[in-house]
Structure formats: structure tokens, C-alpha cells
Amino acid sequence: MKRNGVLIDDTFAEAFPMKATRIIITAHNLVWARHAAVSATGFATSVIACGCEAGIEREIDAAQTPDGRPGVSVLIFSMSGKELAKQLERRVGQCVLTCPTTAVFAGLAPGAAGSGDAAALGKNLRFFGDGWQISKLIDGVRYWRVPVMDGEFVAQEDTPVVKAVGGGNLLLLARDTDAALAVSEAAVAAMKRLPNVVMPFPGGLVRSGSKVGSRYANLSASTNDAFCPSLVGLVAHSALASGCVLEIVIDGLTEADVGAAMRVGMEAAVAIGRAGGLLRISAGNYGGKLGPFHFHLHRLLAAEEAR
């Protein structure tokens, strides 16, 4: 398949089940809400080593937040509800509780589709109040007020945990570094306009795409040598002739969310086209053995054309 001079590989991105939650961080102004959100989503690019994958979903107007202050929506993903709860408590405790003027609330409604167990927000962090903390029950939801040096930290007791999808991806093969960055940045910008998804790597981009396994027994993943331009001619299975490759990884609350993000990302990249240096679009998979969610590039684009 070709679009605007760009070859679209007949392949699929392979994604896997995750657990996720959304939290809303508010503050006296948007600057401090974003400071807390950026800190809370740090070192959260891959569950391979970070424990979770997280990112800022969007900024929220004061009229739409629980306490009428500016806010930031954050999505956090992990491989199990237990690990998600651990990561959430650490990140909220170290990065939101500590940040001036902030409060934190659940961003998913109780009983949200696919929800199961809840993860603690203020439930455990309240003990930082050393006995001075107090709770309020409003419309059946419990909130904790913890005294801190600038006033009080307000935290909803817990947040729903839902089933989610992680590992959707696109590989963008471009003429050179400048083209790869321009095309990839445009694709990420398009994806960020959609709800329910985050691209957890720096700026949404990955240069160190991986494959499962390694020649070293203690490594579970290693460089995706088929897409490394410096290995052209050295590996028999190289997928390149030259150029530069960047990957975008997408986590979403549902399979449909991930598919929609991949589709709009491809459309934004194709709009730049071969004239802008984009040569091919591909995706990473492991023969269907890693995860049950398969996002076929041709089908995603065909669905959009039909619509």
C-alpha cells in the first residue's frame, strides 16, 4: 500500500493487556499542576525497567475539575493492579503531595467500564498527617485532608483500576534524522489530540526500539537490529537500506483508543509524505506471540477511508 509516496508495510503492531488508572492533579494554577504531573510521570517509559508507563493526557480547565482549580490529567499503566497501586502511591506521595498547592482526585468514575479493584490515593498517604488528618464524605466519596506547610493536601481516597492496552506502535522510516524527527513529531502531536491515550517515551518517541530476547541470557530485550541503519549489511534480516527510524509507542484505555491513535498518527505522517522525507511506515510485532491485540496498518487506514 502506498499513500502520498509512502510505503505502508502489510504488518501489524502487537499490543498486550495492562491495568491503568487516570488521576486528576489540580493546583493553585496550571504551572504547579503541571510541575506535579511532570514529576509524577518521570521515569515511566517502559514496564521493562520502570514499573509503569505514564504520561500527561491533557490539561483541564478549572470549570471541569473536582475542586474548581486548573488541573492536569495523568494516565498510568502497569502489568498488574498490584504493581500499579505501588507505583501510584509512590509517585503521588513523592511528586504530588510534595508539590505546592496540589490536590489529587480519581479521573475515572466508580464502576467505569472494565474497572475492578481500586488503587489507593489518599487512603495510605493520609498517615503523613501524623494523626491530624481528617476525612470528609461527599456524595458517598471519601476525601482526606492532610495538613502541610502551605495549608492542606486534599486527596480522594482511591481511584478505579481498569483493563487497558499497552504497546501499540508505529515505526517511521525516514530519509534522515531531520525528516524522521519532523514526521514523528507531527504524528505524536496528532495523537495527543485524542483522549484516553499517552505516548510514554521522551517526547513520545523511541530510538531504541527493542526485540524480545538477546544473545545475553540475562537480558529479556535487546536492540531491534533489523531496523538499525548502522547494521545494514551486517545482519541478514535487515529491514532497511539506509536512513533513520523512530518508533512511537501508544498506551490506551481501550483497544479502540490505541487503534484510533495509530490511525491519526499515520495520517499525520502520510500528509507530510515522501516529499518531506518519510519513506515507509511499519510496526513492531513478535509473530503474534506477545499479546492478543493486533493492529494491522492496512486495516486501520482502510477503515478511515471507508468512513
> Could you tell me the pLDDT band of residue 296, with boundaries at 50, 70 and 90?
very high
What is the CATH number that goes with domain 2-14+164-306?
Answer: 3.30.70.520
Amino acid 107: pLDDT: 97
Please tell me the distance from the alpha carbon of residue 159 to that of residue 118, in angstroms, as a whole number: 5
Whether the domain at 2-14+164-306 and the domain at 19-162 fall into the same CATH topology? yes
Beta pairing, strands 278-282 & 6-8: parallel
pTM: 0.94
H or E element: which one contains 15?
A: strand 12-26
- Across all residues in the chain, what is the average pLDDT? 95
Output the CA angle 209-213-218, nearest 5 degrees: 115
Furthest-apart CA pair in the chain: how many Å?
67
pLDDT digit string, tens, across residues 114-163: 667 899 999 999 999 999 999 999 999 999 999 999 999 999 999 999 99
* Mean pLDDT of all residues in 3-29: 97
> Could you tell me the pLDDT band of residue 273, with boundaries at 50, 70 and 90?
very high
What is the CATH number that goes with domain 19-162?
Answer: 3.30.70.520
Domain spans of the chain, in order of start? 2-14+164-306, 19-162
Helix (H, G, I), strand (E, B) or coil at 273: coil
Residue 112 has pLDDT above 90, yes or no: no
